[in-house]
Amino acid sequence: MKKYLALLAVMAGTILNAQAQNFTEIAGVSKKSKPTEPVKLYKVISGRMEEVAAVTPSANGTFGFSFQPDYTGFYVIGSGHPLTIRDKYKLYIKGNDKINLELNDSTYVLTGQNTKENEVLNQWSKFTYNIARKSIYFDKIKGHSTYVDFFPDFDATLAKAKKWTNGKATGNVKFDNLMKLTVNYDLAHIALMFLNTPRLKHPTKEELNPYLKSFNADQFMQNEDLYKFPYGSTMLEMLVNRKADAMGSNLLDDKNVMLIPNDVLKGEDALNRASKMKSYTNFMELSEKYSKYFITADQKTRAEAFAKRLGATFKPGVKAINFTCQDMEGKQVSLTDFKGKIVLVDVWATWCKPCVGEFPFLKLLEEEFHGKDVVFLSVSVDKEQDKEKWENLIKTEKLGGVQLLANADRHLQKAYGISTIPRFMLFDKNGNVINEDAPRPSDPKLKEILIRYLSKS
């Protein structure tokens, strides 16, 4: 049982009465299309959701939580993966609250006794429902929503939102101030989500509505208010990307961390990037540049966890895990066959467009390091039935180096945790790891690393 959950019970549609002070009681009914789908309660930590408790509704859909909150502010109730905001709804919890609700597909309804704060929050949810649905539940809209219908709806909602909080004071000054923030942050999140989700057609810069044309990402990154919202972490990534795109910067460049005016949020963006890393080397390089921005206790704990997780796999100097695959003539070729040379492994597939996009850069590297102690070892993860397609592409693209086919043997992918391609890995002359998630050939850093390790011989 998680420490934040003081008490949780679901018994025949009833919840236990809380005897201790500050307990919040939530009683609900699930009327979703999947009524027995577990309902989860989350708290908001540094702009992301962390599960407090989960429960499966009873046969008639009822569920309940009784718990002692460890802070006053937004919590979240809903279902699904914690990294997505879909089917999740903000609740304002301060302790001694009674909340009664009904969960439906993509919305919720308050029923019975509720706090003033949650009544206002629910009114706001209803007010923004149309644009939020088009932005977040885009694939559930018949015919799919595009900017043609979304922008007019958003503009109309925005115009009314400017005075929306008028006359909605609850007597709780802290909440009333948070609600004013919520109006601004929710609208920005809805607009950014719309731009960052699949559409049948996307607007050009000229076709953006006035709100997005004049959008100022910095206004949402001046302080840590973003942390108060369950979508804060993902919204930060979208804000940084929007600012970087406007400046013509490469969205993947970690230098974009420095586009953020607030130091704590700089640390958050750096850790967001770290969470996607597979290489201890890459994490340590990022940490060396940005660890001074790991300021909060939560950030320091996460940084330590990343280092521990990645360090348990392939630190530089660790012996590589050998693998063996077939070449075009059916000969068995192993990584260990190339001891005494630096080996760049390229894991790719014929159907992978980003993989094929690296070919011109890879061929340039091969030319530059021709005659040097560097082996370019390309391993395709195409299926056996696509062998002819693999062979034809090698001939068409005039690929050099050593070409291997992994076939059905997934030893290579499992050994190195390869779930996405292209994946480049570097090994030194002694068969030890240099970087098991190396820069791509299109990144000048790869050439620099090769030169550096060749000079060590």
Residue 91 to residues 30, 98, 416, Cα–Cα distance (Å): 16, 11, 42
State the burial class of residue 320 (Cβ atoms within 10 Å of its Cβ: 0-12, 13-18, 19+).
buried
Nearest Cα neighbor of 104 from 123, 121, 79 is 79
DSSP label at residue 206: G
Quick count: other Cβ atoms within 10 Å of Cβ 430?
10
Provide mean pLDDT across the span 270-290: 90
CA-nearest of 388, 383, 382, 377 to 328 is: 388
Can you tell me the mean pLDDT for 47-62?
A: 94
Residue 424: which H helix or E strand, with range?
A: strand 423-427
| Pairwise CA distance, residues 64 & 428, whole Å | 57
pLDDT at 21 over 80: no
pLDDT of residue 50: 94
Q: Which two tokens stand for residue 344?
A: 């760049």
Res. 281 pLDDT band, cuts 50 70 90: confident
pLDDT at 151 over 90: yes
CATH superfamily of 324-454: Glutaredoxin (3.40.30.10)
Question: Which structure tokens are listed for 368?
Answer: 């530059």
Taking residues 126-134, what's their average pLDDT?
95
Give the pLDDT of residue 282. 87
For the chain, domain boundaries: 1-114, 216-311, 324-454
Average pLDDT over residues 121-143: 89
Which 8-state DSSP code applies to residue 432?
B
Within the chain, what is the greatest distance between any pair of CA atoms?
79
- pTM, entire model: 0.76
Residue 313 clears pLDDT 50, i.e. is over it: yes
Cβ contacts of 308 within 8 Å, gap of 6 or more? none
Judge whether residue 48 has pLDDT over 90.
yes
More confident position, 144 or 238? 238
List the 423-427 sheet strands across, edge first. 332-334, 324-327, 402-405, 374-380, 342-348, 423-427, 433-435
Say which range, 154-168, 307-321, 335-349, has the weakest mean pLDDT: 307-321
The mean per-residue pLDDT over the stretch 282-297 comes to 94
Range list of β-strands (E), 210-359: 324-327, 332-334, 342-348
Exposure of 89 in the CB half-sphere (CA atoms within 13 A): 26
CB 105 within 8 A of CB 43: no
Is residue 141 predicted with pLDDT exceeding 80?
no
Tell me: the pLDDT tens digits for 426-449?
999 999 999 988 999 999 999 999
Confidence of residue 344 (pLDDT cuts 50, 70, 90): very high
Average pLDDT, the chain: 90
Residue 6 pLDDT exceeds 70: no
Task: Average the pLDDT over 280-306 and give the result.
Answer: 93
For the segment 234-249, the average pLDDT, to the nearest whole number, is: 93
Residue 287 pLDDT exceeds 90: yes
CATH superfamily of 1-114: Carboxypeptidase-like, regulatory domain (2.60.40.1120)
Residues near 302 by beta carbon (within 8 Å), at least 6 away in sequence: 271
Give the whole-angstrom CA distance, residue 244 versus residue 175: 33
Q: pLDDT at residue 336 above 70? A: yes
